[in-house]
Structure formats: structure tokens, C-alpha cells
Amino acid sequence: MKFYEDFEKIRLKPNHEVSQWYMEMHDLKKQVNYIYKFANVEKILFLGDGDGISILLALFAYKKSNNIKEIYVFDIDERELNLYRKLANEYKIENKIKFMTISYNVIDKTPIQFKNYFDYFYINPPYCYETTPAGLGFFFCLKDVRS
């Protein structure tokens, strides 16, 4: 998909002050495909997304048929949120998927209007850039957050 190559050219530099450590593009593609395969749900929350998986998943889902109707990104980095909003508009993702970005610090309480709102969430904290087997820093919660 050409979008990956385009995204790689405009990808922002990681901000280590907020613990951003970006994965390589080939790993990013694998994660988007993995999430797409298992996230056959309506509403997904990305709690932090320096890598841009949310926008890549939105475009991937936009081009294919699945149940994803809403993707929200809660992140502290306004640069990333602005870039994702710009790309969502540019690629007209909103024609099929509601794509929202919200400035959010994970130590703050979750806004009350989102309690019990999402079907699934994705979080990829920077555990370590070297793991065995590779990729253990990646976590996709397959638990319904409403339970």
C-alpha cells in the first residue's frame, strides 16, 4: 500500500521527553495487519499512538470491509494528533470512519463521556526496544473494556 511509504516520509521524529520510541516501518505494517485481523469491532481507543497505527488502521479499514466505525486517539503529543487529523481529512477517512484525536495525559482521569464507550483499546508503551521474542512491547487488549 503506497500510504505506508507516504507516511514514512512525513513521520515525525520521536519525542523522547514523552517516552516515544518508534518502531520500524516493516513492524508497523505487521501490527496494523494484526490489529485489523482481530479488531472486528465498532469503537477502538488508541491510548497513546506515537507510531501512527491508528491512522494507518483507519486508512486500511477505510479501503477494506469491516466493522470499525470509530477510532479515537488519546495522546499527549499535539504534533502527532495534528498530523493524524490532517491525514484523516486528506484521505477522507471520515466518509466511512469517525476518526477523533483528543489531547490527553494518561495520568489524568478518563473523560467521563468515554466510560464504557469503547469496545477495545490499543496501547503500546515503550517497554523496551529489545525484546525476545521480538515485539513484546506490543499489546492489543482483546478484553472487552466494558466488563
Q: What is the pLDDT of residues 103-112, one digit of tens each?
A: 998 888 888 9
**How many Å separate Cα 23 from the centre of its chain?**
13
Among 33-42, 121-130, 136-145, the range with the most confident prediction by mean pLDDT is 33-42
Instruction: Please tell me the distance from the alpha carbon of residue 83 to that of residue 75, in angstroms, as a whole number.
Output: 12
Q: Does pLDDT of 89 surpass 90?
A: yes
Q: What average pLDDT does this structure show over 73-97? A: 92
What phi and psi, each to the nearest 5 degrees, are found at residue 93?
A: -60, -35
Set out the domains of the chain in order of their start, with CATH numbers: 2-141 (3.40.50.150)
Q: Cα(48)–Cα(66) distance, rounded to whole angstroms?
A: 23
Cα separation, 121 vs 40, whole angstroms: 12
> What is the per-residue pLDDT across 18-37, written as a single tens digit (0 to 9) for each?
666 677 788 888 888 888 88
Helical pair 25-38 and 2-10, crossing angle rounded to 10 deg: 130
Tell me the CB-side half-sphere exposure of residue 6, using CA atoms within 13 A: 10
Section 50-62 average pLDDT = 89
DSSP letter for 17, please: G
Which of the four pLDDT bands, split at 50, 70 and 90, describes residue 16? low
Looking up cell 516520509 gives: 9
CA 147 to chain centre: 22
**Per-residue pLDDT at 140 exceeds 80:** no
Question: Residue 23 has what pLDDT?
Answer: 76
